[in-house]
Amino acid sequence: MAQQQASTITDKWGVALAVLIAGGFMAILDTSIVNIAIPKLESVFSVDTAQVQWVVTIYMLTLGVVVPLAGYLGERFGYRRIYILSLVIFTVGSALSGLSWSLSILTVFRVLQALGGGLIMPITMSMVYRMVPRESIGTAMGFWGLGIIVAPAIGPTLGGWLVEYVDWRLIFYINVPIGILGAFLALAYVPKFPSSNTGPFDMVGFVLSATGLFGLLLALSEGQTWGWNSEPIVLLLVASTLFLVLFTLWELTVKHPLLNLRVFAHGSFAMANLLVIIITVAMYSGVFYVPLFLQTVVGYGALKTGLMMMPAAAASAIMMPISGRLYDKIGARPLVLGGLLILTYTTFLLHRLSTTTPVSDVVLWLTLRGIGMGMAMMPATTAGMSAVPTELVGTGSAINNIMQRVAGSFGLAFMTAVLQSQATLHATTIAASYTPTSQPAVQFMHQLTGFLVQHGMALGQSVSLTTTELYDLIQQQAFVMGIDDIFVLGAGITLLGAFLSLFLKTYRHQRASNQMIVD
């Protein structure tokens, strides 16, 4: 049975939770807001896309390294103290990033920013479980999780507006007043959490986890660029897998592990994390590929695309507190099952995307997906932590965050590889039907060539331009069909999650009887 330390439980946890939500939202927002500024950074620093992409990649890699430290640092030095310190580091890193005068300097400051940002989410999650009574934990987690789902949707819109109409440096400076205010509010309203003797620091475990996660996230991030069969990627995948296996074996034998992996034996922790992986993959498929379609195929700008994603974010923001409240009354299984079935259906609907799809249909599908996401994500996470003892909450929070980051990277890498493969296959199939003697090709070439000649273009030049235009149309159609395929695949993965949710158990505490109920 999961117990809580009486010294940290409080019925007045609402204000403290709001303070923690603000910090977590800021940390998650920064993982997506910078992506939209990549073209601007290219021109400002006179570099190419591959170079400036490291501003995003290095942040993600550093997060993977520091997240496993969260549990140990919180237990050893006190969670509130580490939270405030991480806010300060993140804020200083943000201010310095905004002052950057070269790409290399910006990359260094992004590492500093991530050192703080990587600790914020697992630390705040641990604090929520320590200060909120277990009979209200669903409601609290419903609010706490707003940043996880809403921030990635808002980031591109806010970033696009700042970059296009104000100044790219504000995507970093915007964190400074929020971080300063958050640190002072944490001192005033977040309760102190006692430190404990956690034993010696597990340096071997840290080195193994840091090396393994760094290599795995780097391979997943750069696999598409470097080539999945290239020697660096293969070596990274093999080496990172080896280090993570060694890390697992070490953690199961050492007396004071960095991450106590035996937490997977408690309640539904293992099943819940599997469901979180599936939900995260589904979330990123919508957050990444729908904007990619709207900008690449339809031709919308970043700001308009972001505005189209906002209703979905709003739907999730409304649904998450509601699902949290329902979790406290009925448990996780019906919410996660219902949410995943909605996600399955709406993800499948997205395979109808084409250049003629009405905007209203896209917004409707995404909004319904937002409702499903809000129903499923936090109840699954909360159910997984529901039977975890208080002394293992720090480890559980860190593992949950690691799972989400790896799942996001893996999902994007896997889906992008499938998209590229399917687009190539569809392009070959379509091109085979457009031979020089085929009726569609002849008709298209004749009409467009005639139009261009009629408007004064030379015949030879018009034939060349028509051929190029035909090739571009084939590639665009193949790309759209490839995106449609990955949404079908995403729907299948999400449907598997709906089936697995039938086996999810919730361990709920009832204050009146002081008993743990298993749903």
Cα 363 to Cα 161, 218, 296, 306, distances in angstroms: 20, 33, 17, 11
Q: At what angle do helices 137-144 and 302-330 cross, to 10 degrees?
A: 170
Predicted confidence at residue 202, as pLDDT, reads 93
Q: At what angle do helices 137-144 and 14-33 cross, to 10 degrees?
A: 30
Q: Does 284 lie in the same domain as 217?
A: no
Gap between the Cα atoms of 415 and 418, Å rounded: 5
End-to-end CA distance of the chain: 14
Please count the structural domains in the chain: 4
Q: Does 284 lie in the same domain as 171?
A: no
Q: Does 187 lie in the same domain as 101?
A: yes
Predicted confidence at residue 54, as pLDDT, reads 84
Predicted confidence at residue 507, as pLDDT, reads 72
Gap between the Cα atoms of 265 and 261, Å rounded: 8
Cα 302 to Cα 58, 163, 497, distances in angstroms: 23, 10, 32
Predicted confidence at residue 519, as pLDDT, reads 63
- Residue 165: exposed, middle, or buried by beta-carbon count in 10 A (0-12, 13-18, 19+)? exposed
Predicted confidence at residue 1, as pLDDT, reads 39
Gap between the Cα atoms of 160 and 501, Å rounded: 37
H-run or E-run covering 494: helix 459-500
Q: Does 179 lie in the same domain as 141?
A: yes
Q: Does 437 lie in the same domain as 373?
A: no
Domain boundary among 180, 215, 247: 247
Q: Does 504 lie in the same domain as 436?
A: no
Q: Does 234 lie in the same domain as 169?
A: no
Q: Does 173 lie in the same domain as 31?
A: yes
Gap between the Cα atoms of 263 and 71, Å rounded: 13
Domain annotation covers residue 252: no
Closest listed residue to residue 183, CA positions, set 121, 90, 74, 113: 90
Predicted confidence at residue 410, as pLDDT, reads 85
- Residue 364: exposed, middle, or buried by beta-carbon count in 10 A (0-12, 13-18, 19+)? middle
Q: Which two tokens stand for residue 63?
A: 């997060």
Domain annotation covers residue 253: no
Q: Determine the distance from the C-alpha atom of residue 66 to the mean position of all C-alpha atoms in its chain, rounded to a whole number.
A: 17
Domain annotation covers residue 513: yes
Domain annotation covers residue 462: yes
Domain annotation covers residue 318: yes
> Would you tell me how many other CB atoms lie within 10 Å of the CB of residue 192?
12
Model's pTM, two decimal places? 0.84
Query: Range of 133's domain?
Result: 1-192
Q: What is the DSSP letter of 67?
A: G
Q: Does 340 lie in the same domain as 403?
A: yes
Q: Does 503 lie in the same domain as 395?
A: yes
Domain at 500, CATH number: 1.20.1250.20
Contacts of 334 (CB under 8 A, 6+ apart): none
Q: Does 124 lie in the same domain as 168?
A: yes
- Residue 370: exposed, middle, or buried by beta-carbon count in 10 A (0-12, 13-18, 19+)? buried
Closest listed residue to residue 89, CA positions, set 111, 60, 113, 62: 113
Task: Indicate the Cα dihedral angle 429, 431, 436, 438, nearest 10°.
Answer: 50
Contact indicator for 129, 390 with CB cutoff of 8 Å:
yes
Task: Indicate the Cα dihedral angle 342, 348, 351, 352, nearest 10°.
Answer: -70
Domain annotation covers residue 379: yes
Contact indicator for 374, 339 with CB cutoff of 8 Å:
yes
Q: Does 481 lie in the same domain as 419?
A: yes
pLDDT string in tens for the chain (519-residue length): 344 443 465 567 888 999 999 888 888 887 778 877 777 888 888 887 777 878 888 888 898 899 999 989 998 899 999 999 999 999 999 999 999 988 899 999 999 999 999 899 899 999 998 888 878 888 888 899 887 777 877 887 788 788 878 888 998 998 999 999 999 999 999 988 888 777 889 999 999 999 999 999 999 888 888 888 899 999 999 999 999 999 999 999 998 999 999 889 887 889 999 998 988 888 777 777 888 788 778 878 777 877 888 888 889 889 999 999 999 888 889 999 999 999 999 999 998 888 788 888 988 999 999 999 999 988 998 888 887 887 888 888 899 888 888 888 888 888 888 888 888 888 888 777 766 556 665 565 556 566 555 655 655 556 566 667 667 777 888 888 888 899 999 999 999 999 999 999 877 665 555 556 666
